[in-house]
Amino acid sequence: MKMLVVGGGGREHALAWRLAQSPKVQQVFVAPGNGGTALDARLHNVALTDVPSLADFAQAAGIGLTVVGPEAPLALGIVDAFRARGLRIVGPTQAAARLESSKAFAKAFMQRHGIPTARHATFSDAAAAHAHVDQHGAPIVVKADGLAAGKGVVVAMTTAEAHEAIDFMLLDNKLGVVHNAEGARVVIEEFLVGEEASFIVLTDGKSVLPLASSQDHKRLLDGDQGPNTGGMGAYSPAPVVTPNVHAKVMHEIILPTIAGMAKDGAPFTGFLYAGLMIDAEGRPKTVEFNARLGDPEAEVILMRLKSDLADVLLHAASGTLDQVELHWDRRAALGVVMAAHGYPLEPRKGDVIEGLPAPRDAADADTMVFHAGTARDADGRIVTSGGRVLCVTALGESVKVAQQRAYEALRPIHFDGAQWRTDIGHRAIKSR
């Protein structure tokens, strides 16, 4: 079978790498892909991004299954478009993807279905939003309603920061948020205290398969300081997700969400990602939903996946996920993101990357350099072409060993202005 992976980040490199290892898979196309998928002889980049062209390509090339990585094509309705043409695809419909594409929708949904989350209010009027902040004080969290590539959230420790964020999001739109039909809106919510974890499941709308737990690091700098980013590194498993927490998340958050979406007439299919805050008593609350795999969570999760990914995804797309069991490497995985100069605000492109290892295909590779914002230039060199450039990922008997291996694998890699954190995994290592 021929497969198509839509997207061009580290998550899509990891998906394509795993799919290519399946005996069921003849060819893997990646649209648009990146420098890493271009280097790998078993993967084929296709320079397409818009939904109608992707559907035309899938039809003409005889693609048996498409899997969508990023949120943007999901929010544009790629799943609806493919299904309308009888093409098999893994992902949520446009209506279901609103769990991610509209924070206001997601919050109202959770309230309606009794799913634990932070208290909130939604505003389109800046004066009312400012008044709300004055009334509640800080710390408080201000979120743009719309897709903002992981950057539309300000955790304000002072009311001054919260006021600034409101103007920034409602009046200036400096973040380039893609507004929903309702226009510019902000969601202001209660500040939650605890430890974060990413809980991702795969569902066909009826059966739900939880993936291995994971945790990313959203802040740019060591010690979880600096601005929010798309994610500077991740590890799996996340020790904070104990069996008890796991059961609570499934029963209080995931299963009610899948059931609620079906009941509301927008059944959710594909990867559902719940960003959680787990308090000191082990009670989880939902910080956000994403309608896709996380990035860089996907890299560490797929590094640990032992089941045939193509087989699993085929069942997910065919509504037969109840016939599948997932098997995981018992080892931990940890990935360190190398980001471009200027990330997250103004990432520089075109820096030459040196010291990359040769592409690996072995299913048992215990280190992998997944590419994200890279491209192959006219001279065949690999250069930076986006904010997050590489995700250097390793397996180890513990999070600590995986961390040592990942940083060892990172050492020979060089590009001008590279930024990376030196403490990925610190919570999992320190506290246990």
Contacts with ligand GLY, residue ranges (CB under 6 A): 150, 216, 230-231, 290, 294-295, 297
Q: Based on CB atoms, which residue is closest to ligand AMP, 387 or 396?
A: 387
State residue 151 phi and psi, 5-degree precision.
Answer: -115, 5
Q: Is 189 in the site for ligand AMP (CB under 6 A)?
A: yes
For the bound state, the minimum distance from the C-beta of residue 254 to ligand AMP, rounded and expressed in Å, comes to 17
164 binding partner (options ligand AMP, ligand GLY, none; Cβ < 5 to 8 Å by kind)? none
Helix (H) or strand (E) run with residue 65 in it: strand 65-68
The answer for residues whose C-beta is within 8 angstroms of residue 140's C-beta and 6 or more apart is: 133, 156, 159, 162, 188, 189, 190, 191
Q: Based on CB atoms, which residue is closest to ligand GLY, 232 or 353?
A: 232
Q: Among residues 287, 321, 332, 368, which is the contact residue for ligand AMP, using CB under 6 A? A: 287
Q: Based on CB atoms, which residue is closest to ligand GLY, 46 or 402?
A: 402
192 binding partner (options ligand AMP, ligand GLY, none; Cβ < 5 to 8 Å by kind)? ligand AMP
Q: Is 80 in the site for ligand AMP (CB under 6 A)?
A: no
Given a contact cutoff of 8 angstroms between Cβ atoms, the answer to whether 275 and 103 are in contact is no
- Taking CB under 6 A as the binding criterion, the range among 83-91, 150-158, 357-365, 368-376 that sits at the site for ligand AMP is 150-158
Q: Among residues 78, 79, 133, 153, which is the contact residue for ligand AMP, using CB under 6 A? A: 153
What is the total count of residues that contact ligand AMP (CB under 6 A)? 16
Q: Is 376 in the site for ligand AMP (CB under 6 A)?
A: no
SS3 of 360, please? coil
For the bound state, the minimum distance from the C-beta of residue 106 to ligand AMP, rounded and expressed in Å, comes to 9
* Beta strand extents in 266-355 (DSSP E only): 270-278, 284-290, 332-339
154 binding partner (options ligand GLY, ligand AMP, none; Cβ < 5 to 8 Å by kind)? none
For the bound state, the minimum distance from the C-beta of residue 216 to ligand GLY, rounded and expressed in Å, comes to 4
**Residues pairing with 189 in the sheet:** 120, 141
241 binding partner (options ligand GLY, ligand AMP, none; Cβ < 5 to 8 Å by kind)? none
For the bound state, the minimum distance from the C-beta of residue 177 to ligand GLY, rounded and expressed in Å, comes to 15
Q: Is 275 in the site for ligand AMP (CB under 6 A)?
A: yes
Contacts with ligand AMP in 220-239 (CB under 6 A)? 228
The answer for residues whose C-beta is within 8 angstroms of residue 390's C-beta and 6 or more apart is: 10, 36, 337, 338, 353, 369, 370, 371, 372, 374, 413
69 binding partner (options ligand AMP, ligand GLY, none; Cβ < 5 to 8 Å by kind)? none
12 binding partner (options ligand AMP, ligand GLY, none; Cβ < 5 to 8 Å by kind)? none
What's the rounded Cα separation, in Å, for the pair 422 and 337? 10
**Residues pairing with 271 in the sheet:** 202
Q: Is 427 in the site for ligand AMP (CB under 6 A)?
A: no
Pairing of strands 89-90, 146-147: unpaired
Pairing of strands 2-7, 65-68: parallel
Structure tokens given for 154: 């300000």
Given a contact cutoff of 8 angstroms between Cβ atoms, the answer to whether 367 and 378 are in contact is no
Exposed e or buried b per residue across 229-257, where buried means at least 16 C-beta atoms within 10 angstroms of its C-beta? bbbbbbbbbbbbbeeebbebbbebbbebb
Q: Based on CB atoms, which residue is closest to ligand AMP, 35 or 146?
A: 146
* Beta strand extents in 279-405 (DSSP E only): 284-290, 332-339, 367-371, 374-376, 382-384, 388-396
Helices (H), 193-242: none
Q: Based on CB atoms, which residue is closest to ligand GLY, 232 or 356?
A: 232
For the bound state, the minimum distance from the C-beta of residue 231 to ligand AMP, rounded and expressed in Å, comes to 9
Q: Which residues bind ligand AMP (CB under 6 A)?
A: 118, 141, 143, 150, 153, 155, 189-192, 196, 218, 228, 275, 287-288
